[in-house]
Amino acid sequence: MGSEAEKAQWADVTPDAARRLLTAAVEAFAERGYHATTTRDIAGRAGMSPAALYIHYRTKEELLHRISRVGHRLALAMLERAADSDAGPAGRLALAVRGFARWHAEHHTTARVVQYELGALAEEHYAEVLALRRATDRAVRRIVQDGVDAGDFHVPDVGGTTLAVLSLCTDVARWFRPDGRRTPEEVGELYADLVLRMVGAEPAGE
Amino acid sequence: MGSEAEKAQWADVTPDAARRLLTAAVEAFAERGYHATTTRDIAGRAGMSPAALYIHYRTKEELLHRISRVGHRLALAMLERAADSDAGPAGRLALAVRGFARWHAEHHTTARVVQYELGALAEEHYAEVLALRRATDRAVRRIVQDGVDAGDFHVPDVGGTTLAVLSLCTDVARWFRPDGRRTPEEVGELYADLVLRMVGAEPAGE
């Protein structure tokens, strides 16, 4: 697990052993994939026995579910704060994109696991995560629609544009490298500017 | 493996058994991940024995390498055709994005394997694929730079914009569903329009 930000997201998980197991699971899933990882691998990474793991998590899927839920809830909370803020549509969209893109850079390891292993969730857990994803979509769609209604944005397809904005930010987790050319903050700034252009909030070249 | 387009990309692979093994490997890697897949799984999906697999491929990694190379070469050829076309910068960029986004929708299973399992390639194969990825980046960057030089595009950061354009199209493979709301063609059209706005080729709202 790379960054301090990535570790900080699990700060609420107690006791310490349960938190160590979660971060070990994120690392193991990211490196080898969910299906190639055993609970023994995860316990070993956390410096614990498989038996100790079962005190905290009944199954490997429970670990994935916890990771996915925390990741989705944090991302959703951030987007809802942006959507609810007092700024105008352009300011709210910039806030949302800056935060969401930056989050996917800082939490790229967790985000990859969350995005690429959705299919491994149990049915009821997938349904729960899907509801969080729909709420995420609604938060951004609301900003885009408000911008269109206010005459600030010029967007022929609100749903399609919302999808593209979320997709652009999500894919940061795939290509971001901590030793790469751009910091998470710089990615956030670049993307906020590109998305404002995309919705026609800032006529190009001005 | 979903679409006819997805099957067609392997048409050049002979003999028939080698081609069947490649498509079986794509399916298996996409479903369970590279590390959780055995050569026995792949042979079984292709209706063959593990011994028959080794006639065509020495290792599981050789299969991944072939898949990755074919996928990257097809995508690069398409982008270079767009970059070399006679149209102006906006026409070339629209052509590139329409084709690249559509390709990631039609070939979403292959594209996911290619993108998410890069880390499993052997060192020399990764270097080869990285060269193809850099050429892909150059093809799009050339169009964006030509548009800026011609005064048709208004882009503060050519490298960052190129990265975002490629990333937006690549992530189609993650979210695209054949039974979803949009066809691959419609995704291509939507994205070409959004990217032209992003580079300021088409002042918003006009």
pLDDT for B14: 86
Distance CA A68, CA A32 (A): 17
At residue B206, does pLDDT exceed 50? no
Tell me the residue length of chain B: 206
- pLDDT bracket for residue B7 (50, 70, 90): confident
Query: Would you call A160 and B182 a contact, using CB atoms and an 8 Å cutoff?
Result: yes
Burial string for A151-160 (b: 16+ CB within 10 Å, else e) reads: ebbbbebbeb
More confident residue, A204 or B132: B132
Q: What is the pLDDT of residue A186?
A: 97
What value does the mean pLDDT of chain B take? 93
pLDDT digits (tens, 9 = 90+) for A5-49: 777 888 888 899 999 999 999 999 999 999 999 999 999 999 999
The predicted model gives A186-195 an average pLDDT of 97
Give the containing element (helix H, strand E) for B103: helix B89-106
Out of A116, A181, A204, name the one closest to residue B200 (CB): A204
Q: Give one word for B200, left, alpha or beta, with left for phi > 0 and alpha for psi -120 to 50.
A: left
At the topology level, CATH places domain B61-198 in Tetracycline Repressor; domain 2 (1.10.357)
Q: Is pLDDT above 50 for B203? A: no
User: Is the model's pLDDT at B200 over the cut of 50?
Assistant: yes
The alpha-carbon gap from A85 to the nearest alpha carbon of chain B, in Å, equals: 25
Check A194 against B164: CB less than 8 A apart.
yes
Which architecture does CATH list for A60-198? Orthogonal Bundle (1.10)
Contact call for B154 and A191, based on CB within 8 A = no
- Chain A nearest-CA residue for B32: A35
Helix (H, G, I), strand (E, B) or coil at A100: helix
* Reported confidence tier of residue A2, pLDDT bands at 50, 70, 90: low
Cβ–Cβ contacts within 10 Å for residue A44, how many? 15
Mutation to test the A interface, candidates B198, B199, B202, most A Cβ within 10 Å: B198
CB contact under 8 A, B157 and A190: yes
Q: Answer yes or no: do B35 and A34 touch at CB < 8 A.
A: no
Of A112, A168, A204, the CB nearest to B203: A204
pLDDT at B72: 95
The distance of Cα B182 from the centroid of its chain, to the nearest Å, equals 19
| Residues near B58 by beta carbon (within 8 Å), at least 6 away in sequence | none
Taking only the tens place, the pLDDT of each residue in A90-100 is 999 999 999 99
Q: What is the pLDDT of residue B205?
A: 38
Task: Express each pLDDT in B97-146 by its tens digit.
Answer: 999 999 999 999 999 999 999 999 999 999 999 999 999 999 999 999 99
d(CA A92, CA B95): 32
A167: confidence class by pLDDT, cuts 50, 70, 90: very high
Confidence (pLDDT) at B52: 94
Q: Which of residues 84-143 of A touch B (CB under 8 A)?
A: 112, 115-116, 119
Q: Taking 90 as the threshold, does the pLDDT of residue A204 lie above it?
A: no
